[in-house]
Each structure stands twice: as structure tokens, then as C-alpha cells.
């Protein structure tokens, strides 16, 4: 290769043999992705190492050239890791930046690395490897979050709080039971992580631009080297779809909704009207004007960032929805929403885990709120069904009438006298009074999955086995 050709390739035109002129400055800017896809440098180098080793094993390139390529790639990895690598916009992307630097280091042998591959299968491979790494990290972070929630649930197996529907007090539950609900949600999120990882774990490398290659490559070898379960079976599909990225962002959106719901509860519980929790200083902020304020900003930002994650999913769905096979440059827009989603998840999961490590709960306020709202009315109705043999709809009506009577007397249901109750239902006996005790009402919810403290204690143990191993 002539020095002039080498200079041309190292500056801007690795693909430029077909062109007489170079791109305009605006074209360079819109076409370049190096500012964001440089995050995939480790995956790009790993895939290139696997590809080079396969080319040597298949006698497509010499062992000497393969060794030079491998050593050069190791040097580049060290340079990038040390912050000594110069990323050039004129070279468009991480692939060309690495190849150009490899050419500077080892000369003509670098040009053999791209034998039997295209940037299309190269980027699909790098991107899959990057998302796969993120899925592994996300699963570990979610496991830690579950561990924190389970630990707090174990502390509050018997802490009584109001359970809500429509944000209206419905029945008493335990705080432990409430927290375990989110453990289950996060458990399903983790199962989606596993499903996504399993489905995406096929190797696109060797698919070429769209139709494969005429070289006698071994795609199973590169798949094994990179930890894939095997190669993709259709070259067109391999280079042109991003459903693995869409699935990743879909599970991220669902996870973000779960985090947002829990964050919303923290915001509500921390308000003076509820007073169920005390926020730690480390996850709160103050007001620039009002000295008394303690704002739940961390929880509010977790709640808000779910919108960014959902928006990122929508943006890539819209990019992909009308693309014909195979690759189109539109697909360069796949990485920024995925990268931002990954950054957002890392931050929000860490924030929620940190908050629950330090947050404290006001058990007395929770108990008072549960008692004040006649959340035991269903227990009265159940007693009427079980002891007096009333149809549930009639029992429901009687219990509602007693709640109305208690409200008129400005007292709670259990504070009504037996005479008051008998004025509505003469057959009621004093045995009903024990059923109205809130702890008794709680203990009675012993059906599988219910909130009885013994159930919750067992559920904590089972959650540890199921999710923490």
C-alpha cells in the first residue's frame, strides 16, 4: 500500500475508494457517531480479537499477521483505558478509529482484520455484547435492591399500616407485606432481564454487510469465543434488526414504572399529612426560601426519570418501524437511547437502594392511620357471614351502616357500643368485638399470599431463597 493511500485511510476515507471528494463538514457531523459509540471500545476490541483468531485458524490470514493484529489491539485497549487514545470525528465511529490506529501501529497487516466482515455485522456484534454486559450489571444491581427491601420487610413483619385502593384506606396490612410486593415486581423485572439476555445471545459476526461471505469462516468459533450460544441463522436479520435493544428498553421501561411507583409512595409517605417515613439527609434536599423544608428530591427524580426511559423506547421504535431490509443508516440512532437508558437505570436503582438503606418508618403514625379509617369494616362483614350466616351482600350493607353510625358519633367502628351495633343488627353479640381488633383482623388474613404476620415472615424467608440464592 502506498504512503498516500495509508494517509487517506487514516484521515477519513477507509471506505473512500469509490469517491473522488470527501464529505462536507456538515455531513461529517451528522454522519459521525464516535462521540457516543466509543463506549463500545472494549466490545469492539474483543470481537476483533475473536475474528482475527478465527481468520488465523481458518488459514484466511497468516499466524504472523494474526499475532500482529492481536498485539496491536491489546495496545489500543491499553491506550483507551489509560485515556491516551485520540478519538477522531473524521473517522466516524469506534470501528474506524480503532482500525486506523491499528494501521498506524502495525501497518498493512491491519487491513487484513476486516476480511470477511462488514461494519454492519461488526456493530451488531459490538452492540449486543454491550447490551449483554449491561443486562448482567442490571441484574446484579436489582438483586442488591431486592436484598435491601427484604431486609427492611423482615424488620417490619408486624408493623401495621393502612393498605390502600384508590389511595383510600382499605384494609390493614403490614409494612413488610407492602415492601415484599415490590420485591415480587423486581423479581419479574429480573426474569425479563434473563429472558432478554437468553434471546439476544446469538452472534451476528460473520454475516457481512447482509449476505454472508465467500470466505470459509467458522462462525461457531467466534460465537464460542465471545460467549454467545451460537451464530445467528439469517444474515439479513442479523445485521438489520435491533429487537434486542428494543426488548432491553422495554424491560427498562417496565422496571422504571415499578421504581416510579415506589418513589411516588415515598413522596406521599414523607409528606406532613402522612408522616409515615423520615427521609435521610443523604437523599433529601432543602428549600432555597423555606428553612423548614425537607424535600424528597431523590424519590421525585426517580419518578421523573421513568419518563426519559419510556421516551427512549418510543424513539427507537419509531426509528425502526419503517426500515426495509437490510441495514440503513437510521439504525445509527439506536445507541444513544440505549446508552442513556442504561445510565438512568444505574442511577435510579442505586438511588432507591440507598434510600431504603437509610429511611426510617414511623410505626405509630401508620398504626393510627390504619385505625382511624375503619379499615376493619370488612372483618365485621366477614363475621356476619361466618357466624350469623348472612349473605355477603347483606353483611356488606350492615357493616356499611355501622361505619356510617360511627362517623356520625365521631368515633371508630370498634369504639361503638354493643347496643349501637344491635340497633342496626339485633343478632350481633359481644363476640364480634374481638374481631374488630386491628391486630386480630391482620392475623386473620392468613390465606396464601395474605398479610398475616406469620405469612409475611415465611414470605421473607421464601423471597431470600428465591431471589438471593
As annotated, the active-site residues are: 166, 287
The 3-class secondary structure across the chain, one letter per residue, is: CCHHHHHHHHHCCCCHHHCCCCCCHHHHHHHCCHHHHHHHHHHHHHHHHHHHHHHHHCCCCCHHHHHHHHHHHHHHHHHHHCCCCCCCHHHCCHHHHHHHHHHHHHHHHHHHCCCCCCHHHHHHHHHHHHHHHHHHHHHHHHHHHHHHHHHHHHHCCCCEEEEEECCEEEEEEEHHHHHHHHHHHHHHHHHHHHHHHHHHCEECCCCCCCCCCCCCCCHHHHHHHCCCCEECCCHHHHHHCCHHHHHHHHHHHHHHHHHHHHHHHHHHHHCCCCCCEECCHHHCECCCCCCCCCECHHHHHHHHHHHHHHHHHHHHHHHHCCCCCCCCHHHHHHHHHHHHHHHHHHHHHHHHHHHHHHCEECHHHHHHHHHHCCCCHHHHHHHHHHHHCCCHHHHHHHHHHHHHHHHHCCCCHHHCCHHHHHCCCCCCCCCHHHHCCHHHHHHHCCCCCCCCHHHHHHHHHHHHHHHHC
Beta bridge partners of 202: 230
C-alpha cell recorded at residue 125: 456484534
CA angle 8, 10, 15 (to 5 degrees): 65
Longest dimension (CA), the chain: 106
For the record, the C-alpha cell of 217 comes out as 469462516
Residues, the chain = 469
Give, in order, the Cα–Cα distances in Å from 106 to each of 76, 94, 98, 432. Answer: 11, 18, 12, 88
Amino acid at each position: 500500500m502506498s504512503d498516500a493511500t495509508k494517509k487517506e485511510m487514516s484521515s477519513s476515507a477507509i471506505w473512500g475508494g469509490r469517491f473522488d471528494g470527501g464529505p462536507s463538514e456538515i455531513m461529517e457531523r451528522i454522519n459521525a457517531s464516535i462521540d457516543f459509540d466509543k463506549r463500545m471500545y472494549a466490545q469492539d476490541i474483543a470481537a476483533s480479537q475473536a475474528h482475527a483468531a478465527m481468520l488465523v485458524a481458518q488459514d484466511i490470514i497468516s499466524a504472523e499477521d494474526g499475532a500482529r493484529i492481536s498485539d496491536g489491539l491489546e495496545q489500543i485497549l491499553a491506550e483507551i483505558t489509560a485515556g491516551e487514545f485520540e478519538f477522531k470525528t473524521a473517522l466516524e465511529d469506534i470501528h474506524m478509529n480503532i482500525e486506523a490506529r491499528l494501521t498506524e501501529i502495525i501497518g498493512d497487516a491491519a487491513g487484513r482484520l476486516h476480511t470477511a466482515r462488514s461494519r454492519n455485522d461488526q456493530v451488531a456484534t459490538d452492540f449486543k455484547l454491550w447490551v449483554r454486559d449491561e443486562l448482567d450489571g442490571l441484574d446484579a444491581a436489582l438483586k442488591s435492591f431486592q436484598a435491601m427491601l427484604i431486609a427492611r420487610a423482615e424488620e417490619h413483619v408486624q408493623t401495621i399500616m393502612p393498605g390502600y385502593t384508590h389511595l383510600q384506606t382499605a384494609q390493614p396490612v403490614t409494612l413488610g407485606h407492602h415492601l415484599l410486593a415490590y420485591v415480587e415486581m423486581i423479581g419479574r423485572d429480573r426474569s425479563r432481564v434473563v429472558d432478554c439476555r437468553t434471546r439476544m445471545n446469538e452472534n451476528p459476526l460473520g454475516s457481512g454487510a447482509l449476505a454472508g461471505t465467500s470466505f470459509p469462516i467458522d462462525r461457531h468459533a467466534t460465537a464460542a469465543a465471545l460467549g454467545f450460544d451460537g451464530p445467528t441463522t439469517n444474515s439479513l436479520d442479523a445485521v438489520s434488526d435491533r429487537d434486542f435493544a428494543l426488548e432491553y428498553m422495554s424491560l427498562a421501561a417496565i422496571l422504571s414504572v415499578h421504581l416510579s411507583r415506589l418513589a411516588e409512595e415515598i413522596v406521599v409517605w414523607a409528606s406532613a399529612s402522612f408522616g409515615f417515613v423520615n427521609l435521610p439527609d443523604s437523599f433529601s434536599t432543602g428549600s432555597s426560601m423555606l428553612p423548614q423544608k425537607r424535600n424528597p428530591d431523590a424519590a421525585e427524580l426517580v419518578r421523573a426519570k421513568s419518563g426519559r426511559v419510556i421516551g427512549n423506547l418510543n424513539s427507537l421504535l419509531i426509528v425502526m418501524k419503517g426500515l426495509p431490509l437490510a441495514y440503513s443508516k437510521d439504525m445509527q440512532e439506536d445507541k444513544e437511547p440505549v446508552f442513556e437508558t442504561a445510565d438512568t437505570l444505574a442511577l435510579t436503582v442505586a438511588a432507591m437502594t440507598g434510600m431504603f438503606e437509610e429511611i426510617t418508618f414511623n410505626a405509630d403514625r401508620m398504626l393510627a392511620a390504619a385505625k382511624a379509617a375503619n379499615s376493619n369494616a370488612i372483618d365485621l362483614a366477614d363475621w356476619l357471614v361466618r357466624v350469623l350466616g348472612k349473605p355477603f351482600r347483606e353483611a356488606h350493607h350492615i357493616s356499611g351502616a355501622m361505619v356510617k353510625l360511627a362517623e356520625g358519633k365521631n368515633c371508630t367502628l370498634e369504639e361503638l357500643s354493643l347496643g349501637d351495633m344491635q340497633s342496626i343488627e339485633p343478632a350481633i353479640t359481644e363476640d364480634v368485638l374481638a374481631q374488630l381488633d386491628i391486630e386480630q383482623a391482620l392475623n386473620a388474613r392468613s390465606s396464601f399470599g395474605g398479610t398475616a404476620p406469620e405469612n409475611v415472615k415465611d414470605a421473607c424467608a421464601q423471597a431470600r431463597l428465591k431471589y438471593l440464592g
